[in-house]
Amino acid sequence: MIDKIKEHIAEVEAFNAETADQIEAFRIKYLGKKGILNGFFAEFKSVPNEQKKDFGQAVNALKQAAEAKVTSLKEVLESKQEEKGVYGDLSRPAEPIEIGARHPISIVKNQIIEIFSNVGFNVSEGPEIEDDWHNFTALNLPEYHPARDMQDTFFIQTDPDILLRTHTSSVQVRYMEENKPPIRTISPGRVFRNEAISARSHCIFHQVEGLYIDKDVSFADLKQTLLYFTKQLFGKSKIRLRPSYFPFTEPSAEVDIYWGLETETDYRITKGTGWLEIMGCGMVDPNVLRNCNIDPTEYSGFAFGMGIERIAMLLYQIGDIRMFYENDVRFLEQFKSSI
């Protein structure tokens, strides 16, 4: 009989349970009214007197073991439930982490900066609210100059001297005023023009303008720099410079790249010619250098300027400039894989 009780004790000690139901079933089996322990207690009467002591001790040991087991299993279960309450289900799969995307304007701007910084250009910035001197007059556009009409300007309230910059050439003026040649700088930034909003143009857009001033800088240097740039950015190695006019450069040119005529889109965007205009450029007018305290008999330089939206539209085949400003996540999400 005592051996049987010992077997039960071993069984109790080895028992394990994970749910409240399993623990309850175990409790009933040993400690319930009709349970194993009460069974042994009932047999107590029939145990011979000399064995009563050992028998009683063994039954008590079984009772204590069963009670201790029930208590400890309940504690383990409770602490597991508490953990769940604090941390949730610790075994659930991790949530997918959504990463953001850079705006395509930033992506292209950074690419342009990278390409020019590889050949020694630094980055300069200036204010978006400008004065007349930095946006116009210093750039060889005195008051009443007809070329001021080329850039429909937003003025700040009634003061005709304060305006929203129409190009980042204003930053170049500030840079020349503050730095001595040699100068190699590009000026990315937001610019403003009072233009009707359409698929092709917007009243707010972004530019990168470049300036290079040193002794003996020539038009050939300009062309070579632009060729390097178009090769790096577009992978196209054919450019042409068409004579043009800007008040701040002389001579001035417009830069076209040969885009090709391989697809229907190529035909459409190049109007069947294969050529695409991407920027304006020229040799800095001596008047501009003089206005910025640089001696034009000692130094010469070139400047160029391009619209970032236009370049991003070409690179990503975006058909409508307004997409850049709508912040539609379905549009922005498409740039996730870019840097």
Contacting positions for ligand PHE (CB under 6 A): 167, 169, 209, 246, 249, 280-282, 303-305
Residue 208 carries which DSSP code? E
Tokens representing 297?
Answer: 């008999």
d(C-alpha 69, C-alpha 77), whole Å: 12
AA letter at 97: I
Per the CB < 8 A criterion, the answer to whether 247 and 282 are in contact is: no
Q: Between 249 and 270, whose beta carbon lies closer to ligand PHE? A: 249
Minimum distance of ligand PHE from residue 254's CB (angstroms): 9
d(C-alpha 303, C-alpha 282), whole Å: 6
Minimum distance of ligand PHE from residue 281's CB (angstroms): 5
Tokens representing 29?
Answer: 């089996």
Q: What residue has token string 């002389």? A: 250
- Letter string b/e over residues 179-200, b meaning 16 or more CB atoms within 10 A of that residue's CB: eebebbbbbbbebbbeeeeeee
Q: Is residue 250 part of an annotated ligand binding site?
A: yes
Neighbours of 255 (CB within 10 A): 23
Q: Between 12 and 141, whose beta carbon lies closer to ligand PHE? A: 141
Residue nearest to ligand PHE (CB): 305
Minimum distance of ligand PHE from residue 249's CB (angstroms): 5
Q: Between 26 and 248, whose beta carbon lies closer to ligand PHE? A: 248
Minimum distance of ligand PHE from residue 163's CB (angstroms): 14
Minimum distance of ligand PHE from residue 207's CB (angstroms): 6
Q: Between 167 and 310, whose beta carbon lies closer to ligand PHE? A: 167
AA letter at 338: S
Q: Between 23 and 253, whose beta carbon lies closer to ligand PHE? A: 253
| Known binding-site residue numbers | 250
| Known binding-site residue numbers for Mg(2+) | 250
